[in-house]
Structure 1
Amino acid sequence: MNTAPNAPLRQVTVIRPATPRLDTANLATGYLFQVRWENRVNALRHCIDQLVTHHDMPEATAELAALQAYAAIEGTNHTARIDVDATTSDLVVLRTEGGRPVAFTTADLLRLLQRARDEGAAIVIAQDRRRPVVLEH
């Protein structure tokens, strides 16, 4: 190191931040893996609260991150998948184990939701905001 009185000072550029920031999906997935809840409603409620409270995340962003993370964890042991290339705003295409497409229109999904409501299985996670709704099984 040059210690001469008129030597130019060298700047140090930080290549990466000292504390890495996790994206919303990783935060939600990490929280859901850490904590085991007896049902999806409690898991999602607590995950959303955690993301909003401890990570200053907007509530709508936290809801979506928690829902997506829960679905990803739940789907790990299933061979059936939602075909995002075939799915549109009016149709959800589920590919079953053999790759067979199963079509759910918006009307089909609304009927499933109504049936779940009639059976008491459609649960509102945050009653004060009346959202989001999940099906408890």
Structure 2
Amino acid sequence: MATISQLRPKFSIPQLDATNIATAQLFRDRWHNRVTALGNCIDHLVNDHGMPEHAAESAALQAYAEIESVNQKARIDVDATTSHLVVLRSGDGRSTAFTVSDLLRLLDRARQEGGAAVIEHSSRQPVVLEH
């Protein structure tokens, strides 16, 4: 006769990954602007879940991007994108290339026009574009 072993302790609760936690927090703050929602999400991940700030920033930004692009046909082509080039594919497959210099110019223009916002003022990062 075989012995059956319990795989998990009887009363264990499955743990959510950082993306799920970030997504849930962002849905709670969905009526806030981008900076407030991301700031609250990063704080929640750091303070309530003990994540390092850099990991919390990444999880929050990635979850926000996923939520924001739910109904988008355009996408970032990760196979064509490198550390110096971002390739954006439109819904019909056409590509637009953004080099690091292009993105820095866009950021500089957004700062001049007041459209760049800092989420965490003490560290002055991350910066996002408000729309």
**AA aligned opposite 1:115:** R
Secondary structure of residue in 2 paired with 1:104 = strand
- Per-residue CA deviation, residues 35-90 of structure 1 (Å, 9 max, x unaligned), is 32331000000000001111011110000000000000000011000000000011
What is the RMSD computed on CA atoms of the aligned residues? Answer: 1.6
* Bigger radius of gyration among the two: 1
Unaligned runs of 5+ in 1: 1-9
- Per-residue CA deviation, residues 79-106 of structure 1 (Å, 9 max, x unaligned), is 0000000000110000011100100000
Secondary structure of residue in 2 paired with 1:76 = coil
Counterpart Cα distance in 2 of 1:126 and 1:35: 17
Aligned to 1:26: 20
Aligned to 2:104: 110
| The one of 86, 91, 97 aligned to 1:97 | 91
Aligned 1:6-45 pairs, distance under 5 A: 13-15=6-8, 18-45=12-39
Secondary structure of residue in 1 paired with 2:8 = coil
Secondary structure of residue in 1 paired with 2:41 = helix
Q: Report how far residue 30 of structure 1 moved.
A: 1.3
**AA aligned opposite 1:112:** L
Counterpart Cα distance in 1 of 2:44 and 2:31: 14
| The one of 39, 48, 51 aligned to 2:42 | 48
- Per-residue CA deviation, residues 13-51 of structure 1 (Å, 9 max, x unaligned), is 343671111111111011112332331000000000001
Counterpart Cα distance in 2 of 1:53 and 1:73: 23
**AA aligned opposite 1:15:** R
* Residue 69 of structure 2 corresponds to residue 75 of structure 1: yes
Q: Give aligned pairs, total.
A: 128
Secondary structure of residue in 2 paired with 1:77 = coil
**AA aligned opposite 2:37:** A
Counterpart Cα distance in 1 of 2:82 and 2:7: 44
TM-score by length of 2: 0.92
TM-score by length of 1: 0.88
What percent identity do the matched residue pairs reach?
Answer: 60
